[in-house]
Structure 1
């Protein structure tokens, strides 16, 4: 076989031992006509949103896909986008991408796109509607993409998202920031939370009625496995892009996490209910969403340590929620699994009240450094609760 891509790596041949196919992107799943005559892939404006997106069908040779081979697209010029992901109808696979960052003058290195492990519980409406695939990957403003998919997957689709620009993306940290500061119960522990409106959530994209949890036994800590060099002004854009991917690409009813904490320690409302005092069931920890709150730290902490202000932000949310339900942040609790890739449905598991995503699912999340910081988060949480009782 002749390889048409000169950048094929030795790993492709020695480890995979299968054909590598270089194919152009064939156009959006909904309409092959979206590619511009000049060859640039066009994003369509999101109705009612400030950004745009496109879903691009990747069409490998079925015989090649059945062998678990590699599909590699050609380098593709695009409109501006900042987040991407790959999904498929059935099967199992992995994806790598490289992008051309705007103004950087060339193509970046190949990057793994983490597998999607932050999931709704089995049997829920969200789980029945969801596609398999990768987590959303924030790559920053880019105008070119190349993607490689490994595995026997059916009908893979590449999604590109441009979250656009919103007037509220540059609020700074002054007292006039759009945050939820309404008086609530447990006000002494309620942290300052930037609302969904602050990051520009388009509420019509959220579907169905949020389901409340009866109790909160745990706080699950996650990371979004994206870069750590984003600026404050980027955070609302990142949240809008994740929200679009979760709702429009994966078919979920809302963004999966209850809360976000950025690398500056700021807390952002995620799923509906986070703006107020409702504890709604998320789609963040497969099998364990029904009695928990999910907090995602924006960034990747497998090879970098979180700043103290990140730990403080997570502890603020954890203390607020755990005190309300009289939970000990330094303790453990017996929880019933609804079915994860580590614990079958019906299994009773004893886990820390504040745990990392990897404690319940087969994943590196929340990254080794953030996972190693969980004892510090537990101590900070306990101190806040103790102080509030004086």
Structure 2
């Protein structure tokens, strides 16, 4: 029975607190630089393959039918690896109209829920594009249901066949017999969307090596007035993988985002997700560093994001066209229903 106290999601509470602290503290320089506190870099495992390399598997799943709008079984791509991974993404070049859903095999052999792999939209320096990095939990197999990619391939043109037709008595046939009337509404016919070939896409498998160690929290002396912060060194960011930092003169707004995939992660796995996200943003998408200024996990722990110091107006890469003068905070997990 209610006692008059309101229950607040710890992640939301910390995100709101962080947003308020950022807006108040950046001008006063109250958050000290925390880049050098922690145990040091932890290696991330990453592999990629052509989307065409996956097996075509027919799946009869009501969720897929609902997503695609087409009832009945659907062909999906299935990818299996010997090495375990916990994060997955699909990449391509330039802008493409693609909708993808991903699910992972569970330890008991069953399949987990389908996750919406939303396109990021913001191109890298060489036209790199792709989906959000999904945390699918540790697995060796995923299935991908995708729209906008011709995974079955265009049928080859049928070979010509010589047909001998017997001579028959000539019959008078009206010129237009058997022909459908020509349509008169050409203006209503829409062009067919540009469908990608499987070879135009790649799949990315990432594991953040959560078993490599815990996380190092910044001490009170370096985060005065803030909740606990895991520094870049604390979550194992590579020391040399970062951008030439751009500092904005003024902070005008703070944007709150969320990552993608499962919320079922431990504290150690949260640090691994940070490493995987950094690797995907910096290396795969070519952003040179993680896009967010800070990330908050479901336990309420804050992770320092883009290099440059939490006490500075560091320009991130968290919202295309609106990065200048904004501070990007991301909640780690899928919060579409919160």
TMscore range, shorter length: 0.5 to 0.7
Conserved 8 A contact 1:82-1:160: yes
Deviates more, 1:70-79 or 1:236-245: 70-79
* Structure 2 length-normalised TM: 0.62
Query: Hey, what's the Cα distance between the residues in 1 that align with 2:79 and 2:111?
Result: 9
What is the DSSP-based 3-state SS (H/G/I as helix, E as strand, rest coil) of the residue aligned with 1:205? Answer: coil
Give the alignment partner of residue 117 of structure 2, picking from 113, 128, 145: 113
* Deviation sequence 1:8-51 (CA, Å, 0-9, x none): xxxxxxxxxxxxxxxxxxxxxxxxxxxxxxxxxxxxxxxx8533
Structure 1: runs of 5 or more not aligned: 1-47, 61-69, 120-125, 172-176, 304-368, 370-390
Alignment of 1:92 with 2:131, yes or no, is no
- Report what 2:272 is aligned to: 237
Structure 2: runs of 5 or more not aligned: 1-40, 54-73, 149-194
* Structure 1 length-normalised TM: 0.54
Give the alignment partner of residue 253 of structure 1, picking from 284, 288, 291: 288
Give the alignment partner of residue 217 of structure 2, picking from 162, 178, 181: 178
Give the alignment partner of residue 197 of structure 1, picking from 233, 236, 258: 233
From the CA coordinates, give the structure whose radius of gyration is larger.
2
Alignment of 1:294 with 2:337, yes or no, is no
Conserved 8 A contact 1:94-1:134: no
Give the superposition deviation at 1:97. Answer: 1.9
Give the superposition deviation at 1:253. Answer: 1.2
Query: Hey, what's the Cα distance between the residues in 2 that align with 1:145 and 1:255?
Result: 25
Q: CA, structure 1 residues 180+202, in 2 after alignment: closer, same or farther (shift >3 Å)?
A: farther
Q: CA, structure 1 residues 82+196, in 2 after alignment: closer, same or farther (shift >3 Å)?
A: same
What CA RMSD, in Å, does the superposition of the two structures yield over aligned residues?
Answer: 2.6
Higher RCO (CA 8 Å, separation ≥ 6 residues): 2
Q: CA, structure 1 residues 271+289, in 2 after alignment: closer, same or farther (shift >3 Å)?
A: same
Give the alignment partner of residue 225 of structure 1, picking from 235, 257, 260: 260
Conserved 8 A contact 1:52-1:161: yes
Conserved 8 A contact 1:220-1:293: yes
Alignment of 1:216 with 2:259, yes or no, is no
Conserved 8 A contact 1:136-1:242: yes
What is the DSSP-based 3-state SS (H/G/I as helix, E as strand, rest coil) of the residue aligned with 1:239? Answer: helix
Conserved 8 A contact 1:56-1:159: yes
Give the superposition deviation at 1:139. Answer: 0.6
Give the superposition deviation at 1:156. Answer: 0.5
Q: CA, structure 1 residues 220+100, in 2 after alignment: closer, same or farther (shift >3 Å)?
A: same
* Deviation sequence 1:96-136 (CA, Å, 0-9, x none): 222223x232333433212215x4xxxxxx74335122100
Conserved 8 A contact 2:313-2:325: no
What is the DSSP-based 3-state SS (H/G/I as helix, E as strand, rest coil) of the residue aligned with 1:153? Answer: coil
Aligned residue pairs total 230
